[in-house]
Structure 1
């Protein structure tokens, strides 16, 4: 009798352990924030969640958890290569090298908008770049970007003067202290970052005249062997695109920053991205264009 009770106890414990797993479903790990002020990944989390919601019928319930906080992009990629996090989906700029290492869902998560870049500058230099009109005139000034960022490599390839650092928040301080002239950010990022950092960096302003533009599709990526979960995310993104919820979420998160930047009034300096030579060009059908803000203003405000 005692043996039977022991066996029943083990069975009950085993069932109890399995119930939460069945209730909460597949665990997806998304990219955590680098610091408490870092909000760059909030949209990515929401978009991944949207894709998973669109596929519950076929694939079942899911749970989302962040990767570790305080990790630089270069460190995060190394952890992804080592499969440190379970079922890890992270958004990263597409390159031929990354497409070899990881399984990429080739639907640009931010619609390529991060390839439209405006700069933070010191307020005393807010009008210092009015005469800059091409790459050669921009190359006279110092630019800070992150170590491991594809933007850094693109700017260096185009002969711009780039100073690399590893810490995201320190880049704002470098502009504040005039250690560098410009800190280029995605036009979708800069409004929130100005809100977050301008109080602690009183001399930080958004440069009003320049707009760097280069192709910079960013995809959700995962381990090469994570095929089934990747198919789920791809299917969910396709459905969200088709029913309009993808673009609605994108506008909800990015439209205010795009309008604030007044893109149509800026001087465009086009840069080449030499790191996507093997990329299938079909991704371009999802890409944002400035014309959307001009020809579809009513839709953009919904």
Structure 2
């Protein structure tokens, strides 16, 4: 499969294949949705610590997760981002710093309006097993839920899941922290809402994955993120991001019960021992307070 690319950022180009000081380096990425530039902007922050110039190119259309993986494997993409797995870390060079500080390891349920009462008495993973959950056909989240013993209904197209939920095909659609409220608003013609008592938690880091032919780029992203963590720029970026701020205002985390399940697909190389890379609910609440939220 071949994709057309267009230039996002124009910088001077040097005709050399060697990474040298002041060189312009092309990075081809999947075209992000207009409201989903968080990881792209984070990568730009990381690369701002480098002395190289980076020229960002994007696909002419937004690719599905499976299409991105294929394009990254054959070199049509230079880098992509998403949830990790052993296969992803074998096929590509992972930058093992979660771009969302663990935030996307929490799932909030989109449900039908008028059905909050069905979830009010839920206190455990076993309690949740009475429900059916919607998921994309190839999503790692669906695999995690199935391994935990949940009843999962899957389909190819994400957009169809909202209509399937409305049509009683399943009971809840678990979504990431910055996704749930946005998607309810996007599909405002449907009688859907975000459940307000629970948060489902399993460790699923969001990493940058770099084509193995670009080890210098992977190193530059990792080094830049480490420096941004050390000097506070990562925190500044995270807490000042519009989507993160909107989530923190709406989520009412202090009023939710956390239900934890295990991610059996989590690679053993995940740096869980580096506490500075992850935020728990109390740390997130404290950080939000410090940033005026």
Bigger Rg, structure 1 or 2: 1
Conservation of the 8 A alpha-carbon contact between 2:137 and 2:154: yes
Q: Distance in 2 between matches of 1:91 and 1:270?
A: 24
Q: What is the match of residue 5 of structure 2?
A: none
Q: What is the match of residue 81 of structure 1?
A: 73
Conservation of the 8 A alpha-carbon contact between 1:117 and 1:187: yes
Residues 297 and 251 of structure 1: is their aligned pair in 2 closer, same or farther, counting only changes over 3 Å? closer
Instruction: Name the TM-score, length of structure 2 as normaliser.
Output: 0.85
Q: Distance in 2 between matches of 1:147 and 1:39?
A: 24
Extract structure 1 runs of 4+ deviating beyond 3 A: 38-41, 293-298
Q: Note the C-alpha offset of 1:256.
A: 2.2
Q: What is the match of residue 224 of structure 1?
A: 212
Q: What is the match of residue 241 of structure 1?
A: 229
Query: Structure 2 matches for 1:121-270, cutoff 5 A?
Result: 121-198=111-188, 200-201=189-190, 203-253=191-241, 254-270=244-260
Conservation of the 8 A alpha-carbon contact between 2:30 and 2:62: no
Q: Note the C-alpha offset of 1:284.
A: 4.4
Q: Note the C-alpha offset of 1:90.
A: 1.0
Q: Note the C-alpha offset of 1:124.
A: 2.4
Q: Distance in 2 between matches of 1:72 and 1:125?
A: 31
Q: Distance in 1 between matches of 2:274 and 2:246?
A: 24
> Does 2:293 align with 1:291?
no
Say what the alpha-carbon RMSD is for the aligned residues.
2.2
Conservation of the 8 A alpha-carbon contact between 1:143 and 1:183: yes
Query: Structure 2 matches for 1:48-63, cutoff 5 A?
Result: 48-55=43-50, 58-59=51-52, 61-63=53-55
> Does 2:101 align with 1:106?
no
Q: Distance in 1 between matches of 2:195 and 2:213?
A: 44
Residues 43 and 102 of structure 1: is their aligned pair in 2 closer, same or farther, counting only changes over 3 Å? same
Give ranges in structure 1 of 5+ residues lacking alignment: 1-18
Task: Out of 104-113 and 247-256, give the one that drifted further.
Answer: 247-256
Q: Distance in 1 between matches of 2:72 and 2:35?
A: 19
